[in-house]
Amino acid sequence: MRSRFFENALAEVMNLCGEYSELSMRRALANSCMLSSDVSAAYDPSYGSVFEKKNTSFLGRGMTFAKYTGSRGKSGSNDANAEYIAHLRGILEKANVCTQTAELGKVDMGGVHSPWEAISKADLYEAYRGYKAFLREAEFTNF
C-alpha cells in the first residue's frame, strides 16, 4: 500500500474511459474501501509463549481480521478506524460469515514462521464467502 500502484491503476482506467482528472481520481480514492489480504498466525501450542492466547486466531474459527499491524508500538503500522471495522462487521454478519480478530503475536516477539503454511478448509471457505460479501456490498455502499 505504500506504492502508487493503486493510484496509477485507477488513473489508467479513468484515462481509458475518458474520465481522468486529478480531482476525479482523488474523489474516487476518497470514496473507495478495500481489504488487504495476508496470512495470520494461528495459535500453536508448541510455541504458546509467543502468542497472546486471548488475542490470537485459531484454526477453524473463520477468517481473521488483524485490525492493527506493525511493530515497536505504532511505528510503521496501520490501524483501521472503528467506523470502518463496524462497517465490515455489518457486511460479514449480514452474510453469516464466521470471523475472528487477532494480533500476529505478542508485541515485539517477531513472527512465527514455518517452512509450510497450514490452513483450515473451513477458514479458507469463510474467507471466500467474506470477500464475496464484501465485493457484493461494496457495489451498493458508499462508505
Nearest C-alpha neighbor of 93 from the set 140, 39, 130, 66:
130
Q: What whole-number distance in Å separates Cα of residue 46 and Cα of residue 28? A: 47
Same domain, 21 and 52: no
Same domain, 100 and 112: yes
Residue 34 pLDDT: 81
Same domain, 64 and 97: yes
SS3 (DSSP) at 141: coil
Same domain, 28 and 45: no
Q: Is 82 inside a domain boundary? A: yes
Same domain, 28 and 60: no
What are the residue ranges in the chain where pLDDT is below 70? 1-2, 67-78, 105, 107-114, 139-143
Residue 103 pLDDT: 79
Same domain, 6 and 52: no
Residue 125 pLDDT: 96
Compute φ and ψ for 71, nearest 5 degrees.
-145, 170
Strand partners, 99: 63
Domain extent, residue 116, equals: 35-138
Nearest C-alpha neighbor of 105 from the set 69, 78, 76, 65:
69
